[in-house]
Amino acid sequence: MADPVNGNARRAESVDIYAPQWRNFLFVAPYLFIFAAFLVFPLFWGIWLSFHKADTFSSGPFIGFGNYARLFRDGIFLQSIWNTFYFVFLTVPALALIGLFLALCLNRQTRSAAVLRTLFFSSSVLSVTIVTLIWRIVYIPDMGLLSMIYGFFGAKAPAFLSDPDIAMIGIAIATIWWCIGLPMMLFLSALQQIPQDIYEAAALDNANRWQTLRSITLPSIKRTFVLVVIIQIVFQFQLFGQAWLMTKGGPNNLTKPIVLYIYNTAFQRWDIGLGAAASEILFLLILVAAMAQFLLTRRKADA
């Protein structure tokens, strides 16, 4: 630690490097500019648009909550909110539990564990286009991998892309396959931070593996678990690419998430005002999740 008071006493001519200097603003200016131009400004512009009748090429009169009223009368919008929650419910617990399971299995210093860690993480580097392409090849009826496997046993493969009961599950499976890398890595880093001496103490107490897991490992990574769950909730709420590329939101809008609804209204129907209003609703939903993360993690830190 520097000591500005003593430093000033010894060398009166030296500059206080901690004093506020306007030119230091230059260091943060590029970030602030981008933050303001691409986040703050669009945020307020979006709110402004949501209160106006506007299309892609012109904006019309102020209509108050008119767009919001239209949204909540629109069965498809309500369906898309439900779809989004259903998708989050399908993916987030699975990602957290499978991620934890993989991390527990692969948290060792062997070569095969290192190879498997890389393998399980490798799907995360793919773009959504590649991921959906791969899974379409798996799901596609009559020619896909799944129908080949089912065909081998003389059975008919489930139509993951078009059956109303399982289309969302199909998208969730592809998403879990795609996103499993990050939760696994977060859990691995948490596991590696648990001090080895606790395990040694447990071993001296003759604790078996199950007791060690329940009483030492799991409590030690509780905060990471909450972090993984909330990161994934925020991320999976924004489902778009997989649904658009695999099912286009069908059948009968059962896989249409909120972001795809926004895309449909704003960019295909040119109804920017309504799309902006739907975006604000999504913003509020994600805000709630983010606030929950903030509150939960703060409470743990205090404890």
Partner 1 sequence: MTLRKLFLATISAATVMMASPSFAATELQVQRFFGACDADFGKNTDVSKAVGECGIITSLINKFAADNPDIKVNVTTVEWPGYDQLTAQFASGDAPDIVTIHESALSDYQSKGLLLPLDDLLKTVGVTPDQFTGAAKEGATKDGKIYGLPIDNWTMLYHINMDLFKQAGLVNADGTPMLPKSPEEVLAQAEQFKQKTGKPYFVQNLANETALFTRNLYTYLFQQNSDFFADPKKVKFNTPEAKKVVEMYKAIYDKDYTTKNLDYAGAINAFLAGEGGVQLNGTWVVGDYNAQSEKPGTALNKGGYAVYPYPQLFSGAKAQYADGHTWAVSKKDRSPEQTAAIGKFLKFFADNDFEWSRTGHLPAYKAVIDSAKFKALPHRDTISAVATLGKPLPSQVQRQFAIQDIVGEEMSAAISGQKPVDKALADMESRVNELLANL
Q: Which residues bind partner 1 (CB under 8 A)?
A: 53, 55-58, 70, 74-76, 140-143, 159, 161-164, 247-248, 250-253, 263-264, 267-271, 274
Query: From its phi and psi, is residue 4 left (phi > 0), alpha (psi between -120 and 50) or beta?
Result: alpha
User: 117 near 290, Cβ under 8 Å?
Assistant: no
Place of tokens 């060690």: 212
CA 158 – CA 75 distance, rounded (Å)? 28
Kindly tell me which of 59 and 215 has the beta carbon lying closer to partner 1.
Answer: 59
- Residue 33, SS3 per DSSP: helix
Kindly tell me which of 159 and 289 has the beta carbon lying closer to partner 1.
Answer: 159
Minimum CB separation of residue 257 from partner 1 in Å reads 15
Kindly tell me which of 199 and 270 has the beta carbon lying closer to partner 1.
Answer: 270
Kindly tell me which of 53 and 223 has the beta carbon lying closer to partner 1.
Answer: 53
Nearest to 67 by CA among 252, 269, 241, 285: 269
Kindly tell me which of 41 and 101 has the beta carbon lying closer to partner 1.
Answer: 41
Minimum CB separation of residue 128 from partner 1 in Å reads 15
Minimum CB separation of residue 80 from partner 1 in Å reads 13
Minimum CB separation of residue 244 from partner 1 in Å reads 10
Kindly tell me which of 66 and 290 has the beta carbon lying closer to partner 1.
Answer: 66
CA 116 – CA 20 distance, rounded (Å)? 50
* DSSP 8-state secondary structure symbol assigned to residue 123: G
Sign of dihedral through CA atoms 75, 80, 81, 82? positive
CA 122 – CA 103 distance, rounded (Å)? 15
CA 210 – CA 217 distance, rounded (Å)? 10
Minimum CB separation of residue 226 from partner 1 in Å reads 37
Place of tokens 């678990």: 225
Minimum CB separation of residue 249 from partner 1 in Å reads 8
